[in-house]
Amino acid sequence: MLLEAVFSDVEKLQKNQEQNMTNKVNIEFTQKQLEKLLTDVEKLKDKVRQTGVIHMNEVTEVVIALLMLVNGEMKEARIQTGYAECIKGARS
């Protein structure tokens, strides 16, 4: 009986470790995407500062996305036109 309990605990720990590894991969991917986004935004801001104009063919739309991952699965995603709307929608 004790051996079965220990084996069950080991299985739970292994499953939890696998989920954590998946979460780590997802977090690292999201971090890389966010870094690229920030770099692109800074380049766009520099271009606007230099020219003083945003050409419509260079900027289509600016959106804010909020993504919630739980155990490596996407549970919720929100895309809004502004940060306040995105957070407001997440609270309700």
Q: Which single residue is written with the structure tokens 């699965």? A: 73
Between vectors from CA 33 to CA 63 and to CA 38, what angle results, nearest 5°? 65
CB 77 within 8 Å of CB 68:
yes
CA 68 to chain centre: 7
Read off the pLDDT band of 53 (50, 70, 90). low
Q: State the pTM of this model.
A: 0.43
What is the overall mean pLDDT for the chain? 76
More confident residue, 88 or 55: 88
Measured at the alpha carbon of residue 26, what is the angle toward residues 25 and 31, in degrees to the nearest 5? Answer: 100
**pLDDT at position 67, please?**
74
What is the reported pLDDT for 47?
Answer: 77
Mean pLDDT of the region 53-79: 67
pLDDT digits (tens, 9 = 90+) for 25-41: 888 888 888 888 888 88
Domain ranges of the chain: 2-91
Work out the number of other CB atoms within 10 angstroms of the CB of residue 19: 14
Q: 6 CB contacts (<8 Å, ≥6 apart)? A: none
